[in-house]
């Protein structure tokens, strides 16, 4: 099938390998228009409000719940309820109860916000004077995460946890984000405005009592809380270095979870604590001990009885699994072992005497969180299958009644081709000339021949099995026979880093492999390329294809998970303006991928 011509082929130039610049511009315009229509329908984007330092929301002043000492400062008999005048109580959770049917309505709507606001029909939204949706009933929300941009980011988790809290605060919720204060030489300056709160606690775990302190910055109406401990101060990336993942990650994120449970009880932010009546949003395995701690260590003492927790699964590939012998280190009551218990199947064990006994943080949250959300609807189904469930499929299936998928939004203040500070030129759907200039500048920056008429293909991502780099590696010899240019930006698996470097020297005029992590370069690639390639083996949501569609760059993706949910394959016979936004190929083979790029055999 050759997609040519303007009417039928609004994606044609980028989909075909040989594009002429005029049709390329029309193609990009068409994709951008489709993207803007989606924005108008509010399908992808959590519209964020960043109107400068705003006053603390009024409800924050009213929400001063009675002071309840934190668990780690041994509590006196706690009050049975912590009434908060503006928040109706959430449905009862009970002590350590699994899967109460909570937050009943509206889960599969447009954003994670719907989980939080949909606890009762009173929670429906209203608009303020600026057409900014406002929650009718506001809540205290505590995000717990291993990363959040711009403080620390290793991938998409950082993007979402850096922007969704701001979007929720703009709707009137009181929002806190709790994450580590990583000092590794490169991220230190990002924490410069975070001040020591004067609060410190001692956490009883791993055979000792470990002091952590709290830092705080109030920005974009969100309380950013940073947990400080020497184990977060070391060179390398957030979770590891050249030698692999850090050996004490279980310890580091155990500290984070304990600290996150204490923060709402002890930190007076803007003069008031958050208190017990809050909604914890726990992201991935790093935060997964939070619902276990709530159930095992707080609710039995009457603390946090009215709190609720939502587990957000960004990526089931990382579960925080360690030997069963580490369980006593976690400071949990012995009778709660079952919540974390994890037995590897025989084929995955290392030797005949290995019983495969382990503890699994993510599993702990799967069985104790009140709600579970994945970052797209497609992925919420995939995680219940043997192929996509990474061993947790049966457990997740058993929790189907509280499992939903909500596609990620993107931050259109950061990712906006009309204002993007990382770009040499700006452009919009009405005038795409700046995109062609961005392409030329990118080619110059990369030392590639500056040519309008050659399709420039990009890849951005962690060099990980998940992202299908091996497929790109297999396809490169064939692809490089064509008149194309290819740029890859990524870091991760040293084998693929080495391959990128050597491929660059084999195809000097056609291929560039930028090994490293650079947010500005990722913006310039997104803007300057004609096509963004994402052959992910699995993809819970994926953000780069959303950024690409926002920048008039055609995504060519493997039709899986969130990629299938968000990229509409080009259909020349579609109604005008509904011809699609990219190309989703399946199954995941080299031939299909090349067909997706070229729209013909390569």
Ligand X SMILES: Nc1ncnc2c1ncn2[C@@H]1O[C@H](COP(=O)(O)OP(=O)(O)O[C@H]2O[C@H](CO)[C@@H](O)[C@H](O)[C@H]2O)[C@@H](O)[C@H]1O
**Where do contacts with ligand X occur on this chain (CB under 6 A)?**
155-157, 159-160, 314-315, 375, 408, 460-462, 489-491, 517-519, 522, 539-544, 562
Minimum separation from the CB atom of position 135 to ligand LY7QZA5B (A): 27
Q: Which is nearer to ligand X, 305 or 314 (CB)?
A: 314
Interaction partner, residue 180 (ligand LY7QZA5B, ligand X, none; CB < 5-8 Å by kind): none
CB of 251 to ligand LY7QZA5B, least distance (A): 13
Ordered strands of the 278-283 beta sheet: 195-205, 208-219, 222-228, 174-180, 140-144, 278-283, 308-313, 371-374, 403-405
Within residues 281-300, the interface with ligand LY7QZA5B by CB under 6 A covers: 284-285
Instruction: State the SS3 of 176-223.
Output: EEEEECCECCCCHHHHCCCEEEEEEEEEEECCEEEEEEEEEEEECCEE
Cβ-based burial of 401 (10 A; exposed 0-12, middle 13-18, buried ≥19): exposed
301 binds, among ligand X, ligand LY7QZA5B, none (CB under 5 to 8 A by kind): none
Give the closest residue to 339 by CA, choosing from 15, 536, 98.
Answer: 98
Contact status, residue 558 vs residue 585, Cβ threshold 8 Å: yes
Q: Select the binding partner of residue 522 from ligand X, ligand LY7QZA5B, none (C-beta < 5 to 8 A, by kind).
A: ligand X
Q: Whose CA is closest to 114, among 92, 136, 131?
A: 136
Q: How far is CA 38 from CA 31, 55, 587, in A?
A: 11, 31, 27
490 binds, among ligand LY7QZA5B, ligand X, none (CB under 5 to 8 A by kind): ligand X
As separate numbers, helices (DSSP H) first and strands (DSSP E) second, the chain gives 18, 22
- Identity of the residue, 535 or 540, whose beta carbon is nearer to ligand X in the bound complex: 540
Q: Which does 239 bind (CB under 5 to 8 A by kind): ligand LY7QZA5B, ligand X, none?
A: ligand LY7QZA5B
Q: Name the residue nearer to ligand LY7QZA5B (CB basis): 31 or 312.
A: 312
Looking at 163, 315, 404, 545, which residue binds ligand LY7QZA5B (CB under 6 A)? 315
The site partner of 318 among ligand LY7QZA5B, ligand X, none (C-beta below 5 to 8 Å per kind) is ligand LY7QZA5B
Write down the least CB distance from residue 546 to ligand X, Å: 8
Supply the minimum distance, in Å, between the C-beta of residue 116 and ligand X: 17
Distance of alpha carbon 21 from alpha carbon 484, whole angstroms: 14
Of the pair 249, 380, the CB lying nearest ligand LY7QZA5B is at 249
- The residue behind tokens 């299909």 is 592
Give me the phi and psi of 83, to 5 degrees please: -65, 135
Q: Contact with ligand LY7QZA5B (CB under 6 A): which of 16, 35, 171, 318?
A: 318
DSSP 8-state symbol, 86: T
Q: How many CB atoms lie within 10 A of CB 294?
A: 27
Which residues ranging from 189 to 248 are in contact with ligand LY7QZA5B (CB under 6 A)?
Answer: 239-240, 245
CB of 287 to ligand X, least distance (A): 13
517 binds, among ligand LY7QZA5B, ligand X, none (CB under 5 to 8 A by kind): ligand X
Per CB under 6 A, 158 contacts ligand LY7QZA5B:
yes
DSSP per-residue codes, 140-164: EEEEE-S-BTTTB-SSHHHHHHHHH
What's the burial of 520, exposed, middle or buried (CB within 10 Å: 0-12/13-18/19+)?
Answer: exposed
Q: Which residue has the tokens 């040293």?
A: 494
Q: Which of 4, 49, 134, 154 binds ligand LY7QZA5B (CB under 6 A)?
A: 154
Q: How far is the CB of 25 from ligand X (least distance, A)?
A: 24
The span from the CA of 233 to the CA of 597, in Å, is 43
- Which residue's CB is nearer to ligand X, number 379 or number 427? 379
Of the two residues 154 and 586, which places its CB atom closer to ligand LY7QZA5B in the complex? 154
Q: Which position's Cβ is nearest ligand LY7QZA5B?
A: 155
DSSP letters spanning 467-486 = GTHHHHHHHHHHHTTSS-EE
Q: How far out from the chain centre does Cα 341 lie?
A: 26
Q: Which residues bind ligand LY7QZA5B (CB under 6 A)?
A: 154-158, 239-240, 245, 249, 284-285, 314-315, 318, 462
């Amino acid at each position: 099938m050759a997609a040519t011509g303007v009417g039928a082929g609004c994606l044609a130039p980028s989909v075909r390998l040989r594009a002429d610049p005029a049709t390329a511009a029309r193609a990009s315009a068409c994709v951008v228009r489709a993207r803007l229509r989606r924005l108008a329908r509010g399908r992808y984007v959590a519209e964020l409000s960043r109107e400068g330092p705003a006053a603390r929301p009024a409800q924050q002043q009213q929400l001063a719940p009675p002071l309840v000492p934190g668990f780690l400062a041994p509590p006196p008999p706690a009050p049975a309820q912590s009434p908060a005048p503006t928040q109706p109580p959430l449905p009862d959770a009970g002590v350590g109860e699994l899967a109460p049917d909570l937050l009943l309505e509206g889960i599969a709507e447009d954003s994670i916000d719907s989980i939080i606001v949909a606890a009762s029909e009173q929670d429906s939204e209203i608009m303020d004077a600026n057409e900014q949706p406002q929650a009718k009933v506001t809540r205290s929300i505590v995000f717990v995460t291993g990363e959040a941009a711009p403080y620390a980011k290793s991938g998409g988790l950082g993007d979402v946890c850096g922007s969704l809290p701001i979007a929720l605060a703009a709707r009137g919720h009181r929002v806190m984000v709790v994450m580590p204060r990583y000092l590794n030489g490169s991220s230190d300056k990002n924490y410069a405005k975070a001040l020591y709160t004067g609060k410190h606690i001692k956490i009883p775990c791993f055979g000792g009592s470990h002091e952590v302190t709290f830092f705080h910055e109030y920005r974009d109406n969100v309380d950013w809380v940073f947990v400080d401990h020497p184990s977060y101060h070391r060179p390398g990336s957030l979770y590891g270095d050249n030698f692999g993942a850090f050996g004490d990650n279980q310890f580091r994120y155990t500290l984070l979870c304990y600290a996150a449970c204490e923060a709402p009880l002890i930190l007076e932010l803007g003069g008031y604590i958050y208190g017990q009546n809050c909604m914890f949003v726990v992201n991935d395995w790093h935060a997964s001990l939070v619902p276990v701690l709530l159930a095992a260590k707080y609710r039995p003492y009457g603390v946090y009885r009215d709190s609720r927790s939502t587990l957000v699964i960004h990526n089931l590939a990382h579960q925080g699994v360690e030997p069963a012998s580490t369980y006593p280190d976690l400071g949990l009551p012995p009778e709660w072992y079952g919540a974390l218990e994890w037995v590897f199947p025989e084929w995955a064990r290392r030797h005949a005497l290995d019983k495969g006994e382990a503890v699994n943080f993510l599993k702990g949250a799967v069985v104790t969180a009140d709600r579970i959300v994945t970052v797209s609807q497609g992925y919420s189904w995939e995680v219940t299958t043997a192929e996509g469930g990474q061993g947790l499929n049966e457990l997740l299936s058993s929790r189907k009644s509280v499992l939903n998928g909500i596609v990620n939004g993107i931050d259109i203040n950061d990712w906006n081709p009309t204002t993007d500070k990382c770009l040499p030129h700006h452009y919009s759907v009405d005038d795409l000339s700046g995109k062609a200039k961005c392409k030329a500048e990118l080619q110059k920056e990369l030392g590639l021949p500056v040519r309008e008429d050659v399709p420039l293909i990009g890849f951005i991502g962690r060099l990980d099995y998940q992202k299908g780099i091996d497929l790109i590696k297999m396809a490169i010899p064939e692809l490089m026979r064509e008149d194309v240019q290819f740029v890859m930006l990524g870091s991760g698996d040293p084998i693929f880093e080495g391959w990128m470097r050597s491929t660059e020297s084999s195809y000097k005029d056609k291929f560039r492999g930028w090994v490293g992590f650079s947010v500005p370069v990722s913006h310039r690639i997104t803007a300057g390329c004609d096509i963004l390639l994402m052959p992910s083996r699995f993809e819970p949501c994926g953000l780069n294809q959303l950024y690409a569609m926002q920048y008039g760059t055609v995504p060519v993706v493997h039709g899986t998970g969130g990629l299938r949910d968000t990229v509409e394959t080009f259909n020349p016979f579609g109604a005008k303006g509904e011809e699609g936004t990219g190309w989703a190929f399946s199954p995941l083979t080299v031939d299909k991928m090349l067909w997706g790029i070229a729209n013909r055999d390569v």
